[in-house]
Structure 1
Amino acid sequence: MNSRGFAIFAVFMVQLLYGLNYTIAKGVMNENYIKPFGFVLLRVAGATILFWLMSLFLPKQKVDKKDYFKFFIAAIFGVVINMLFFFKGLEYTSPIHASSIMIIVPIIILVLSSIMLKEKVTNLKILGVILGVIGALILTIYGKSARPGDNVPLGNLLILLNAISYSIYVILIKKLTAKYHPFTFIKWLFLFGLIILIPFGYNELDAVEWQSFKPYTTFSVLFVIIGATFGTYLFNPIALNKLKASTVGIFIYLQPVIAGLFALAMGVDFIDAVKIIAMLVIFLGVYLVSKKSKKST
């Protein structure tokens, strides 16, 4: 397989792993094996160990002392707030809702870039932002979940806040990712994230009754740590290194499709007119935001 072919495989794997993660992680939390904050701490601790072990076999890169603080701030938005809000939101909402809301990340990045980086926004992109917001509101106000104990509006709000936090993180790391090798950046990002997360998740992780785990529970936890965390952060830099950002961005459309099909197959979610309409409106909004202007700059 050539390098471009492998990069396409890598970006597909990222969306596949994320897509499956919605149902798998929600199952562990809703069965009360691990509560959300404890699960996040376990997820980040496991991935941090894997990243630092892998870094032993890679070339060493010196980090400027002034950049450690930037890593720390990036960890707050990219690991701590992002993951805490995502898992807590996923506990309350459905996989289809969560995955649909998460694809509006390009829209949020556009809005934040126009504010923080003073990037120019076209009328077409403004329309895309409006459509994305309308789609998310339709899901939040009218969407239903297959699980009686879910609180869809609260869950969707937390997923949206997670998406905003992740978008801020993407903007913050723009210069850092150009300066450092992906693994140099990721290992420090996760180490700082782990240290910050300990007070939030320690009690919930300490309360886990490991002996109650069934084989599928153990598989699910390992999947979240190795697949949906270590694997996705491993494949993403490979994809971004060989493919255009716009090409990688197109693959985000796969995430709610994979998440939806897997959730339906597992019987933990359902599809209805409201979800279909909301997803189509969000898809159209993201498409307009991602569409390049025909005029050359």
Structure 2
Amino acid sequence: MTSRGFALFALFMVQLLYGLNYTIAKLVMNGSYIKPFGFVLLRVAGATVLFWLISLFIPQEKIEKGDFIKLFLAAVFGVVINMLFFFKGLEFTSPIHASAIMTITPIIILILSAYALGEKITKLKVFGVILGLIGALILTIYGKSSRAGDNVPLGNLLIFLNAISYSIYVILIKKLTSKYHPFSFIKWLFLFGLILLIPFGYSELNEVNWGSFTPTITYSVLFVIIGATFGTYLLNPLALNKLKASTVGIFIYLQPVIAGLFALYVGADFFDLLKLSAMLLIFAGVYLVTKKPKNAN
């Protein structure tokens, strides 16, 4: 059984990989190396191959027939809609805007988990969500970036719809993680997603000029496939196995912090006292929501 400490570590790694992904994926698309839908198909195809290869070397649980329907729905929301809207939105907006908008996800997950999973919403959890949201909003308003988007309002809208889709995905797989080990069902999740994505991304992937790739672009594409796709979709269910869906959601508040720091590192942003204060608020919100109650097992 995954320990709570490892679950929290896995969850942090997911946000770290996603936080870096905003700038790295946009670098590839801005350079016109791969268009958004073609990039999505490539990342899902690569991750699907990795999941199925690993499944050959570890014991597998039998998936009940009825759960394949849940897996198919999870693939629709967590692989197809989620990724298509995210990459298309990221093409039009900036990494900092995109990561900040994703902070609406914890609120959606909190509401859905209370309704669908019967999770108790404590006052401390609500306060943590609000505190983190305030910090995220400060980053959204003041997180300027030198990377201008082509159509920021449209890009932001697509990222928002992606956040809703991702929230539904988290709720859908929560029950599956308590029933199966991630390796037992993620390979099916990605196989369904891959099949559904082919009509959307095949033509764009077919246009890719592989010979134009520089070493930096090649490493960036590999990071998106191995780190931001294979790694995150493996670690997230491991965290969900031990943590509440709402706790998993609140960690998304770390994404604008990580994305902002990375954008700063590559020269796409600047740092000041206001942003430091916003980041501290986000970390405080994460702490309050992930704090285990004294009477919990």
Common topology (TM > 0.5): yes
TM range (shorter): 0.7 to 0.9
Matches within 5 A, 1:47-126: 47-116=47-116
Q: Kindly tell me: are residues 287 and 81 of structure 1, through their superposed partners in 2, closer, same or farther at Cα, counting changes over 3 Å?
A: farther
Q: Quick one: distance in 1 between partners of 2:73 and 2:268?
A: 36
Q: What does residue 154 of structure 2 align with?
A: 154
User: TM-score, normalised on structure 2?
Assistant: 0.82
1:276, distance to aligned residue in structure 2 (A):
7.6
Q: What does residue 26 of structure 1 align with?
A: 26
Q: Quick one: distance in 2 between partners of 1:50 and 1:74?
A: 19
Q: Work out whether residues 106 and 286 of structure 1, in 8 Å CA contact, stay in contact via their aligned partners in 2.
A: no
Identity of aligned pairs, percent? 78
Aligned length: 295
Q: Structure 1 stretch 216-225 or stretch 89-98: which is displaced more?
A: 89-98
Q: What does residue 40 of structure 2 align with?
A: 40
Q: Kindly tell me: are residues 155 and 273 of structure 1, through their superposed partners in 2, closer, same or farther at Cα, counting changes over 3 Å?
A: farther
Q: Work out whether residues 140 and 153 of structure 1, in 8 Å CA contact, stay in contact via their aligned partners in 2.
A: no
One-letter amino acid matched to 1:168? I
Q: Work out whether residues 103 and 133 of structure 2, in 8 Å CA contact, stay in contact via their aligned partners in 1.
A: no
One-letter amino acid matched to 2:100? S
One-letter amino acid matched to 2:220? S
Q: Quick one: distance in 2 between partners of 1:7 and 1:81?
A: 26
User: TM-score, normalised on structure 1?
Assistant: 0.82
Unaligned runs of 5+ residues in structure 1 are: none
Q: Quick one: distance in 2 between partners of 1:96 and 1:196?
A: 29
Q: What does residue 229 of structure 2 align with?
A: 229
Q: Structure 1 stretch 133-142 or stretch 57-66: which is displaced more?
A: 133-142
1:151, distance to aligned residue in structure 2 (A):
2.4
Q: What does residue 12 of structure 2 align with?
A: 12
Matches within 5 A, 1:187-206: 187-206=187-206
Q: Structure 1 stretch 207-216 or stretch 102-111: which is displaced more?
A: 102-111
Q: Kindly tell me: are residues 93 and 139 of structure 1, through their superposed partners in 2, closer, same or farther at Cα, counting changes over 3 Å?
A: farther
1:6, distance to aligned residue in structure 2 (A):
5.0
Q: Work out whether residues 25 and 224 of structure 2, in 8 Å CA contact, stay in contact via their aligned partners in 1.
A: yes
2:178 alignment partner, SS class: helix
1:51, distance to aligned residue in structure 2 (A):
0.2
Q: Quick one: distance in 1 between partners of 2:133 and 2:17?
A: 26
Q: Quick one: distance in 1 between partners of 2:26 and 2:276?
A: 22
Q: Kindly tell me: are residues 125 and 248 of structure 1, through their superposed partners in 2, closer, same or farther at Cα, counting changes over 3 Å?
A: closer
Q: Work out whether residues 3 and 242 of structure 1, in 8 Å CA contact, stay in contact via their aligned partners in 2.
A: yes
Q: Kindly tell me: are residues 143 and 267 of structure 1, through their superposed partners in 2, closer, same or farther at Cα, counting changes over 3 Å?
A: closer
One-letter amino acid matched to 1:74? A
Q: Structure 1 stretch 230-239 or stretch 156-165: which is displaced more?
A: 230-239
Q: Kindly tell me: are residues 55 and 93 of structure 1, through their superposed partners in 2, closer, same or farther at Cα, counting changes over 3 Å?
A: same
Q: Quick one: distance in 1 between partners of 2:245 and 2:134?
A: 25
Q: Quick one: distance in 2 between partners of 1:23 and 1:131?
A: 26
Q: Work out whether residues 94 and 148 of structure 2, in 8 Å CA contact, stay in contact via their aligned partners in 1.
A: no
Q: Does 1:258 align with 2:254?
A: no
One-letter amino acid matched to 2:228? A
